[in-house]
Amino acid sequence: MGSLAIERPCTMEPGLALARAADALAKIGYEIVSRSTHEFHLFYSAGSHTALRLDEHRHRLGIRADGQKLVFLFEAGLSSGGVVVQSERDELERRVAIATRSAGAPAPGAPRRCLTCGTLSDAGATTCATCGSSL
């Protein structure tokens, strides 16, 4: 048990992306503790105080958005130490995937809309074919 940070691309407006991600996480046991324009704090109340795995322990989750990415920071507390094992990481990654999909982040390789001119890009493109802006 310990802490784990996971980043995912998300170009949706930060407030909307955070609200959607938090709503999805609330359905699987998280409670919203506080919120601001670019950051939400949640608590996994479905967990146990005695669990040895971060994904099963009552833990904090901070989510930050900046219009380019969502950052998820899972933390079990100051007295908890150790590393996150792969099975814990897999479960937390699954939760991040649920939240990211709900936030409206594009799936990897999916076409994205240019924020400058509105043109839909080809899958995997990094710049807009019409105006040249980065996606």
Query: Which mean pLDDT values do the consecutive 10-residue runs of the chain (135 residues) have?
Result: 84 90 93 93 82 76 93 74 75 91 72 80 82 83
Please indicate, yes or no, whether residues 82 and 120 belong to a single structural domain of this protein.
Answer: no
Task: Identify whether residues 97 and 115 lie together within a single domain.
Answer: no
**67 and 93, same domain (yes or no):** yes
- Host domain of residue 125: 109-135
Q: What is the CATH number of the domain that holds 78?
A: 3.30.310.80
Quick one: 114 and 62 in the same domain? no
* Residues 11 and 40 reside in one and the same domain: yes
When divided into structural domains, the chain yields a total of: 2
| Same domain as 80, residue 26 | yes
- Over residues 72-109, the pLDDT tens digits come to 999 876 454 566 778 888 888 999 999 998 887 665 56
Taking CA atoms, 130 is separated from 10, 61, 120, 121, 135, in Å, by 21, 39, 9, 9, 12
State whether 96 and 114 are in the same domain.
no
Q: Could you please report the per-residue DSSP string of 16-66?
A: HHHHHHHHHHHTTTEEEEEE-SSEEEEEETTSBSS-SSTTTB--EEEEEE-
- Is residue 45 domain-shared with residue 83, that is, in the same domain? yes
Whether residue 51 is found in the same domain as residue 31: yes
Q: What angle do CA 21, 34, 102 make, to 5 degrees?
A: 5
Task: Let me know whether 46 and 13 are in one domain.
Answer: yes
